Protein backbone atom coordinates (compact mmCIF):
# COMPACT_ATOMS: atom_id res chain seq x y z
CA UNK A 1 0.00 0.00 0.00
CA UNK A 2 1.62 3.24 -1.19
CA UNK A 3 -1.04 5.58 0.15
CA UNK A 4 -2.63 5.80 -3.29
CA UNK A 5 -5.03 3.07 -4.46
CA UNK A 6 -4.70 1.35 -7.80
CA UNK A 7 -6.87 3.26 -10.32
CA UNK A 8 -7.67 0.29 -12.55
CA UNK A 9 -8.69 -1.81 -9.57
CA UNK A 10 -11.06 0.85 -8.24
CA UNK A 11 -12.68 1.46 -11.60
CA UNK A 12 -13.17 -2.25 -12.25
CA UNK A 13 -14.60 -2.70 -8.77
CA UNK A 14 -17.08 0.12 -9.27
CA UNK A 15 -18.03 -0.83 -12.81
CA UNK A 16 -18.32 -4.63 -12.99
CA UNK A 17 -19.47 -6.61 -15.96
CA UNK A 18 -23.25 -6.72 -15.47
CA UNK A 19 -25.07 -9.80 -14.27
CA UNK A 20 -28.47 -10.82 -15.59
CA UNK A 21 -30.46 -7.68 -16.17
CA UNK A 22 -33.21 -6.82 -13.74
CA UNK A 23 -35.87 -4.16 -14.29
CA UNK A 24 -34.46 -0.71 -13.76
CA UNK A 25 -35.62 2.76 -14.65
CA UNK A 26 -32.21 4.39 -14.91
CA UNK A 27 -29.39 3.59 -17.29
CA UNK A 28 -26.03 5.24 -17.80
CA UNK A 29 -26.07 7.59 -20.81
CA UNK A 30 -25.31 5.38 -23.81
CA UNK A 31 -22.37 3.62 -22.15
CA UNK A 32 -20.88 0.33 -23.22
CA UNK A 33 -22.47 -1.51 -20.32
CA UNK A 34 -25.58 -1.36 -18.17
CA UNK A 35 -24.15 0.49 -15.17
CA UNK A 36 -26.17 0.77 -11.96
CA UNK A 37 -26.40 4.36 -10.84
CA UNK A 38 -24.88 3.52 -7.46
CA UNK A 39 -21.82 2.01 -9.14
CA UNK A 40 -21.46 5.06 -11.37
CA UNK A 41 -21.56 7.32 -8.33
CA UNK A 42 -18.96 5.18 -6.58
CA UNK A 43 -16.70 5.35 -9.62
CA UNK A 44 -17.05 9.13 -9.75
CA UNK A 45 -16.25 9.42 -6.05
CA UNK A 46 -13.16 7.26 -6.51
CA UNK A 47 -11.93 9.45 -9.34
CA UNK A 48 -12.51 12.60 -7.29
CA UNK A 49 -10.52 11.05 -4.44
CA UNK A 50 -7.64 10.13 -6.74
CA UNK A 51 -7.52 13.48 -8.50
CA UNK A 52 -8.12 15.59 -5.39
CA UNK A 53 -10.94 17.36 -7.14
CA UNK A 54 -13.59 19.08 -5.08
CA UNK A 55 -16.89 17.28 -4.63
CA UNK A 56 -19.41 17.92 -7.39
CA UNK A 57 -22.82 16.64 -8.28
CA UNK A 58 -22.98 13.61 -10.53
CA UNK A 59 -24.93 14.35 -13.72
CA UNK A 60 -28.44 12.97 -13.57
CA UNK A 61 -28.71 9.62 -15.38
CA UNK A 62 -30.98 9.36 -18.37
CA UNK A 63 -34.51 8.25 -17.59
CA UNK A 64 -34.85 5.77 -20.41
CA UNK A 65 -38.04 4.94 -22.19
CA UNK A 66 -38.54 1.16 -22.28
CA UNK A 67 -38.76 1.04 -26.06
CA UNK A 68 -35.50 -0.02 -27.72
CA UNK A 69 -35.64 2.79 -30.27
CA UNK A 70 -35.39 5.46 -27.56
CA UNK A 71 -33.71 3.90 -24.55
CA UNK A 72 -29.99 3.62 -24.01
CA UNK A 73 -29.67 -0.17 -24.08
CA UNK A 74 -26.16 -1.49 -24.76
CA UNK A 75 -25.54 -3.68 -27.78
CA UNK A 76 -22.76 -5.33 -25.78
CA UNK A 77 -24.79 -6.61 -22.81
CA UNK A 78 -24.69 -10.25 -23.91
CA UNK A 79 -21.16 -9.91 -25.28
CA UNK A 80 -19.85 -8.74 -21.90
CA UNK A 81 -21.49 -11.62 -20.06
CA UNK A 82 -20.31 -14.01 -22.76
CA UNK A 83 -16.71 -12.92 -22.20
CA UNK A 84 -16.90 -13.59 -18.47
CA UNK A 85 -18.77 -16.87 -19.03
CA UNK A 86 -16.18 -18.03 -21.54
CA UNK A 87 -13.36 -17.24 -19.15
CA UNK A 88 -15.07 -19.09 -16.32
CA UNK A 89 -16.26 -22.05 -18.37
CA UNK A 90 -13.55 -22.47 -20.97
CA UNK A 91 -13.17 -26.02 -22.16
CA UNK A 92 -16.78 -26.87 -22.91
CA UNK A 93 -15.87 -26.89 -26.58
CA UNK A 94 -18.58 -24.40 -27.51
CA UNK A 95 -20.98 -27.30 -27.83
CA UNK A 96 -24.14 -25.50 -26.76
CA UNK A 97 -26.87 -25.31 -29.37
CA UNK A 98 -28.32 -21.98 -30.50
CA UNK A 99 -31.45 -20.36 -29.09
CA UNK A 100 -34.07 -19.44 -31.67
CA UNK A 101 -36.50 -16.66 -30.76
CA UNK A 102 -39.39 -16.43 -33.22
CA UNK A 103 -41.87 -13.56 -33.21
CA UNK A 104 -45.17 -14.11 -35.00
CA UNK A 105 -46.97 -11.52 -37.09
CA UNK A 106 -47.99 -10.47 -40.58
CA UNK A 107 -45.57 -8.78 -43.00
CA UNK A 108 -46.29 -5.41 -44.58
CA UNK A 109 -46.83 -1.85 -43.40
CA UNK A 110 -50.58 -2.26 -43.18
CA UNK A 111 -50.12 -4.65 -40.23
CA UNK A 112 -47.47 -2.68 -38.34
CA UNK A 113 -48.56 -1.60 -34.89
CA UNK A 114 -51.49 -4.01 -34.75
CA UNK A 115 -52.25 -6.41 -31.92
CA UNK A 116 -51.55 -9.49 -34.00
CA UNK A 117 -47.99 -8.25 -34.60
CA UNK A 118 -46.74 -7.93 -31.02
CA UNK A 119 -44.49 -10.93 -31.65
CA UNK A 120 -42.75 -8.99 -34.42
CA UNK A 121 -42.43 -5.99 -32.10
CA UNK A 122 -40.77 -8.10 -29.41
CA UNK A 123 -38.20 -9.38 -31.91
CA UNK A 124 -37.53 -5.81 -33.07
CA UNK A 125 -36.86 -4.75 -29.47
CA UNK A 126 -34.41 -7.62 -28.92
CA UNK A 127 -32.74 -6.94 -32.27
CA UNK A 128 -32.14 -3.27 -31.57
CA UNK A 129 -31.21 -3.67 -27.92
CA UNK A 130 -28.67 -6.43 -28.52
CA UNK A 131 -27.32 -5.32 -31.89
CA UNK A 132 -28.50 -8.42 -33.76
CA UNK A 133 -29.48 -7.23 -37.23
CA UNK A 134 -32.30 -8.99 -39.08
CA UNK A 135 -30.27 -8.72 -42.25
CA UNK A 136 -30.90 -11.96 -44.11
CA UNK A 137 -33.85 -13.84 -45.57
CA UNK A 138 -33.76 -17.57 -44.88
CA UNK A 139 -36.53 -20.13 -45.10
CA UNK A 140 -39.17 -17.45 -45.67
CA UNK A 141 -38.14 -15.48 -42.58
CA UNK A 142 -36.17 -12.36 -41.74
CA UNK A 143 -33.31 -13.79 -39.69
CA UNK A 144 -30.66 -12.27 -37.46
CA UNK A 145 -27.75 -14.07 -35.82
CA UNK A 146 -25.69 -12.86 -32.88
CA UNK A 147 -22.23 -11.72 -33.97
CA UNK A 148 -20.81 -12.79 -30.61
CA UNK A 149 -21.64 -15.76 -28.47
CA UNK A 150 -24.32 -14.99 -25.89
CA UNK A 151 -23.78 -16.72 -22.59
CA UNK A 152 -21.77 -19.42 -24.45
CA UNK A 153 -24.59 -20.02 -26.95
CA UNK A 154 -25.37 -18.32 -30.27
CA UNK A 155 -28.74 -16.63 -30.61
CA UNK A 156 -30.98 -16.38 -33.66
CA UNK A 157 -33.96 -14.09 -34.15
CA UNK A 158 -36.65 -14.73 -36.76
CA UNK A 159 -39.76 -13.05 -38.13
CA UNK A 160 -41.58 -15.41 -40.53
CA UNK A 161 -42.80 -13.59 -43.65
CA UNK A 162 -45.35 -16.25 -44.58
CA UNK A 163 -48.27 -14.44 -42.93
CA UNK A 164 -49.47 -15.62 -39.55
CA UNK A 165 -51.45 -18.71 -40.50
CA UNK A 166 -48.50 -20.30 -42.33
CA UNK A 167 -45.77 -19.48 -39.79
CA UNK A 168 -44.90 -23.15 -39.38
CA UNK A 169 -43.60 -23.36 -42.96
CA UNK A 170 -40.74 -21.10 -41.94
CA UNK A 171 -40.19 -22.21 -38.35
CA UNK A 172 -40.13 -25.91 -39.19
CA UNK A 173 -37.38 -25.40 -41.77
CA UNK A 174 -35.30 -23.18 -39.47
CA UNK A 175 -35.45 -25.72 -36.65
CA UNK A 176 -34.57 -28.60 -38.97
CA UNK A 177 -31.74 -26.89 -40.86
CA UNK A 178 -29.98 -25.45 -37.81
CA UNK A 179 -30.69 -28.55 -35.68
CA UNK A 180 -32.12 -26.51 -32.81
CA UNK A 181 -33.44 -28.44 -29.79
CA UNK A 182 -37.14 -27.76 -29.30
CA UNK A 183 -36.58 -26.62 -25.71
CA UNK A 184 -34.56 -23.73 -27.18
CA UNK A 185 -37.15 -22.69 -29.75
CA UNK A 186 -39.07 -19.82 -28.12
CA UNK A 187 -42.16 -18.58 -29.95
CA UNK A 188 -43.47 -15.11 -29.06
CA UNK A 189 -47.05 -14.23 -29.97
CA UNK A 190 -50.24 -12.36 -29.05
CA UNK A 191 -52.85 -13.89 -26.75
CA UNK A 192 -56.50 -12.85 -26.51
CA UNK A 193 -56.97 -14.69 -23.22
CA UNK A 194 -54.37 -12.71 -21.28
CA UNK A 195 -55.08 -9.22 -19.90
CA UNK A 196 -53.58 -6.47 -22.01
CA UNK A 197 -49.77 -6.14 -21.78
CA UNK A 198 -49.42 -9.10 -19.41
CA UNK A 199 -46.80 -11.75 -20.13
CA UNK A 200 -46.82 -15.48 -19.59
CA UNK A 201 -43.85 -17.76 -20.20
CA UNK A 202 -44.51 -21.51 -20.43
CA UNK A 203 -42.25 -24.47 -21.32
CA UNK A 204 -44.85 -26.17 -23.52
CA UNK A 205 -48.56 -26.30 -24.32
CA UNK A 206 -51.18 -26.33 -27.06
CA UNK A 207 -52.03 -23.72 -29.67
CA UNK A 208 -55.02 -22.31 -27.76
CA UNK A 209 -56.83 -21.54 -31.02
CA UNK A 210 -53.96 -19.37 -32.31
CA UNK A 211 -53.52 -20.16 -36.00
CA UNK A 212 -49.84 -19.24 -36.07
CA UNK A 213 -49.10 -21.65 -33.22
CA UNK A 214 -51.29 -24.31 -34.82
CA UNK A 215 -49.22 -24.05 -38.01
CA UNK A 216 -45.95 -24.32 -36.08
CA UNK A 217 -47.09 -27.41 -34.22
CA UNK A 218 -48.17 -29.00 -37.52
CA UNK A 219 -44.67 -28.47 -38.93
CA UNK A 220 -42.95 -29.76 -35.78
CA UNK A 221 -44.67 -33.15 -35.99
CA UNK A 222 -47.44 -32.05 -33.62
CA UNK A 223 -44.95 -31.44 -30.83
CA UNK A 224 -46.11 -29.26 -27.93
CA UNK A 225 -42.71 -29.32 -26.25
CA UNK A 226 -41.29 -25.90 -27.05
CA UNK A 227 -41.38 -22.72 -24.93
CA UNK A 228 -43.69 -19.85 -25.70
CA UNK A 229 -43.85 -16.24 -24.48
CA UNK A 230 -47.45 -15.04 -24.68
CA UNK A 231 -48.19 -11.31 -24.74
CA UNK A 232 -51.71 -10.36 -23.69
CA UNK A 233 -53.74 -8.16 -26.02
CA UNK A 234 -57.02 -8.43 -24.10
CA UNK A 235 -60.49 -9.39 -25.29
CA UNK A 236 -62.42 -7.51 -27.99
CA UNK A 237 -65.00 -5.05 -26.68
CA UNK A 238 -68.67 -5.92 -26.91
CA UNK A 239 -69.52 -8.24 -29.76
CA UNK A 240 -66.59 -7.30 -31.98
CA UNK A 241 -65.26 -10.15 -34.11
CA UNK A 242 -61.87 -11.28 -32.69
CA UNK A 243 -60.53 -11.54 -36.26
CA UNK A 244 -61.09 -7.79 -36.68
CA UNK A 245 -59.93 -6.95 -33.16
CA UNK A 246 -56.46 -8.47 -33.57
CA UNK A 247 -55.86 -6.28 -36.62
CA UNK A 248 -56.67 -3.06 -34.78
CA UNK A 249 -53.79 -0.68 -33.95
CA UNK A 250 -53.01 0.40 -30.40
CA UNK A 251 -53.97 3.83 -29.12
CA UNK A 252 -51.32 6.01 -27.47
CA UNK A 253 -52.03 4.85 -23.92
CA UNK A 254 -52.05 1.19 -24.94
CA UNK A 255 -48.79 1.58 -26.84
CA UNK A 256 -47.08 3.07 -23.79
CA UNK A 257 -48.30 0.18 -21.64
CA UNK A 258 -47.19 -2.32 -24.26
CA UNK A 259 -43.73 -0.74 -24.37
CA UNK A 260 -43.22 -1.60 -20.71
CA UNK A 261 -44.34 -5.17 -21.38
CA UNK A 262 -41.85 -5.48 -24.22
CA UNK A 263 -39.12 -4.21 -21.92
CA UNK A 264 -39.98 -6.97 -19.44
CA UNK A 265 -39.91 -9.42 -22.32
CA UNK A 266 -36.40 -8.29 -23.22
CA UNK A 267 -35.26 -8.87 -19.64
CA UNK A 268 -36.88 -12.32 -19.73
CA UNK A 269 -34.96 -13.23 -22.89
CA UNK A 270 -31.68 -12.14 -21.34
CA UNK A 271 -32.29 -14.17 -18.20
CA UNK A 272 -33.31 -17.20 -20.26
CA UNK A 273 -30.14 -17.23 -22.33
CA UNK A 274 -27.79 -16.47 -19.45
CA UNK A 275 -29.40 -18.44 -16.60
CA UNK A 276 -31.89 -20.83 -18.16
CA UNK A 277 -35.60 -21.13 -18.82
CA UNK A 278 -36.73 -21.80 -15.23
CA UNK A 279 -35.26 -18.58 -13.83
CA UNK A 280 -36.73 -16.60 -16.69
CA UNK A 281 -40.17 -18.15 -16.15
CA UNK A 282 -39.98 -17.33 -12.44
CA UNK A 283 -39.09 -13.72 -13.28
CA UNK A 284 -41.99 -13.34 -15.73
CA UNK A 285 -44.74 -15.36 -14.10
CA UNK A 286 -44.11 -14.33 -10.49
CA UNK A 287 -44.23 -10.67 -11.48
CA UNK A 288 -47.49 -11.22 -13.35
CA UNK A 289 -49.07 -13.06 -10.40
CA UNK A 290 -48.13 -10.23 -8.04
CA UNK A 291 -49.64 -7.65 -10.38
CA UNK A 292 -52.89 -9.59 -10.63
CA UNK A 293 -53.16 -9.87 -6.82
CA UNK A 294 -52.64 -6.12 -6.45
CA UNK A 295 -55.34 -5.19 -8.95
Task: Return d(Cα 90, Cα 248) in angstroms, integer.
Answer: 49
Query: Half-sphere exposure (CA, 13 Å, Cβ side) for 207?
Result: 18
Would you say 7 and 50 are in contact if contact means Cβ atoms under 8 Å apart? yes
Q: What 3 state SS string does the chain have?
A: CCCCCCHHHHHHHHCCCCCCCCCCCEECCCCCCCCCHHHHHHHHHHHHHHHCCCCCCCCCCEECCCCCCCCCCCCCHHHHHHHHHHHHCCCCCCCCCCEEEEECCCCCHHHCCEHHHHHHHHHHHHHHHHCCCCCEEECCEEEEECCCCECCECEEEEEECCCHHHHHHHHHHHHHHHCCCHHHEEEEEEECCCCCCCEEEECCCCCCCCHHHHHHHHHCCCCCCCCEEEEECCCCCCCCCHHHHCCCECCHHHHHHHHHHHHHHHHHHHHHHHHCHHHHHHHHHHHHHHHHHCC
Q: Known catalytic residue: 219? A: no
Which of the following is catalytic: 33, 116, 210, 219?
A: 116
| Angle at 33 (CA atoms; ends 261, 49), nearest 5 degrees | 130
Active site residues: 116
Amino acid sequence: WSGRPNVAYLINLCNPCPGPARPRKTLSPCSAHLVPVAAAAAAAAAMRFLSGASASRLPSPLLSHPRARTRCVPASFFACRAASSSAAGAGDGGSRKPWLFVGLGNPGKVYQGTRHNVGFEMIDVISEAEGISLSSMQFKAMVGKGKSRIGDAPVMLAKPQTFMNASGESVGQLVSYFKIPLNQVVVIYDDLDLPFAKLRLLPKGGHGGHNGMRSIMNHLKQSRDFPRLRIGIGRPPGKMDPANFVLRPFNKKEQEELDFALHRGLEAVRIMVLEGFNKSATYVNTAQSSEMLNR
